[in-house]
A and B are shown apart, each in its own frame.
With several copies, the nearest count.
Chain A
Amino acid sequence: MKSTEMKAVIEGLLYVSGEDGLLLEQIESVIGVNGSDARALVEEMKQDWENDAKGLMIIDIAGGYQLTTKPFLADYFEKFVEAPRRSSLSQAALETLAIIAYKQPISRADIEDIRGVKSEKAIQTLVSRELVKEAGRAEGTGRAILYGVTTMFLTYFGLKSLEELPPLVPEEEDQSDEASDLFYENFRQTVEGL
Chain B
Amino acid sequence: MEYKVKIDAFEGPLDLLLHLIKQLEIDLYDIPVAEITEQYLDFIHKMQVLELDVASEYLVMAATLIEMKSKMLLPKQEPLEEDLFDQNMALEEDPRDELMRRLIDYRQYKQAAQELKELEQEQIRLYTKSPSDLSCYERTEQALPAEGEVTVSDMISALQRLLKKKKINKPMNTKIERQSLPIGKRMIEIVDVLKAKRDLVSFDTLFPYPDRSHVVVTFLALLELMKKKQITCNQETNFTDISICLTKGAEPIEIDGNESSY
Contacts and interface: CB of A to CB of B under 8 A. Distances in A.
**Direct A–B contact in complex, judged by CB atoms less than 8 Å apart:** yes
Interface of A: 12, 15-21, 23-26, 29, 59-64, 66-71, 73-74, 77-78, 80-95, 97-99, 101-102, 114-119, 121-122, 124-125, 128-131, 142, 155-159, 165-166, 168-172, 174-175, 177, 179-184, 186-194
A122 B158 CA distance: 14
Contacts of A155: 147
A165 B129 CA distance: 26
B9 A184 contact: yes
Given A69-B128, A90-B134, A158-B119, 14 more contacts: A24-B189, A94-B116, A94-B150, A116-B15, A117-B12, A129-B140, A166-B112, A169-B111, A179-B12, A180-B11, A180-B15, A181-B23, A186-B53, A187-B5
Contacts of A177: 11, 19, 22
A168 B112 contact: yes
Contacts of A89: 117, 120, 145, 150, 154
- The list of the 6 closest CB pairs from A to B, nearest first, reads A184-B9, A94-B158, A117-B12, A88-B145, A82-B171, A18-B129
A12 B214 CA distance: 24
Contacts of B107: 170, 174
Contacts of A130: 157
A60 B5 CA distance: 40
Contact of A81 (B134, B164, B166): B134
A62 B190 contact: yes
Contact of B140 (A67, A95, A125): A125
A95 B162 contact: yes
A17 B124 contact: no
Nearest to B218: A62
A157 B123 contact: yes
A34 B200 CA distance: 29
Contact of A97 (B54, B110, B131, B155): B155
Contacts, number: 355
Nearest to B192: A60
Given A21-B208, A95-B109, A175-B114, A180 B8 contact: yes
A156 B119 CA distance: 9
B57 A114 contact: no
Contact of B156 (A74, A158, A166, A180): A166
B5 to A, nearest CB: 5
Given A69-B127, A85-B127, A168-B159, A16 B55 contact: no
Contact of B22 (A63, A66, A169, A174): A174
A132 to B, nearest CB: 12
Interface residues of B, number: 118
B154 to A, nearest CB: 6
Interface string B44-86: 0011011111110110010000000000000000000000000
A102 B152 CA distance: 12
A60 B193 contact: yes
B108 A169 contact: yes
Given A90-B138, A95-B11, A166-B112, A174 B18 contact: yes
A17 B130 CA distance: 8
Residue among B55, B205, B210 with max Cβ neighbours from chain A (10 Å): B55
Contact of B207 (A62, A90, A158, A192): A62
A80 to B, nearest CB: 7
B93 interface: no
6 contacts: A19-B128, A83-B171, A129-B140, A165-B152, A182-B53, A183-B55
